[in-house]
Amino acid sequence: MDDYEKLLERARDSVPEDAFKRSGERFKVPHVQLMIQGTRTIWQNFQEILGVLNRPGKEVLKYVAGQLATAGNMEGGSAIFQGKFTANTVNEVLSKYIDAYVLCPVCGRPDTNMDKDGHAYYLKCSACGASTSIRPV
Ligand SMILES: [Zn+2]
């Protein structure tokens, strides 16, 4: 029994202390999954990505539709855009959104919230405490 406990302890010691912390900090956004249906593009994992971004769907939809210069709406967990778009195009638009509205410009972490103060919008970072004014979507 003693030997077993010693073994466990040694195993625990050999794990780098920050291994778990580090993996938790990584910001992983899934790639967009699109399906073309007729003349529309259906973004199938829209809801899943919203969960990772921690942003309201209406806002992300407005931004993406604006960048694609088309109309979009949400249906169930999917976003639907008029026109045919490739996953590359949508991924690019999504990463622009993340750069502008999700990642903290000061520390680069994604632990941010959007705050509205009158007509001004702020990106508030809970990792470093920075508050950055941003353009509304
Ligand atoms: Zn920050």
- Ligand 1 centroid vs 19 CA: distance in angstroms? 22
111 has pLDDT over 50: yes
- Ligand 1 centroid vs 63 CA: distance in angstroms? 23
Grouping H, G, I as helix, E, B as strand and the rest as coil, residue 89 is helix
The four Cα atoms 112, 32, 76, 42 give a dihedral, to 10 degrees, of 140
Q: Answer for the pair 71, 23: CB distance below 8 angstroms, yes or no.
A: no
- Ligand 1 centroid vs 110 CA: distance in angstroms? 8
pLDDT in tens, 32-49: 999 999 999 999 999 999
- Ligand 1 centroid vs 105 CA: distance in angstroms? 7
- Give CA–CA dist 131/117, Å, rounded: 12
- Ligand 1 centroid vs 77 CA: distance in angstroms? 30
Q: What confidence score (pLDDT) does residue 3 get?
A: 74
What domains sit in the chain, N to C, each tagged with a CATH number?
2-102 (3.30.30.170), 106-137 (no CATH)
For every residue of 4-26, which 3-state class applies, written as one string? HHHHHHHHHHCCCCCHHHHHHHC
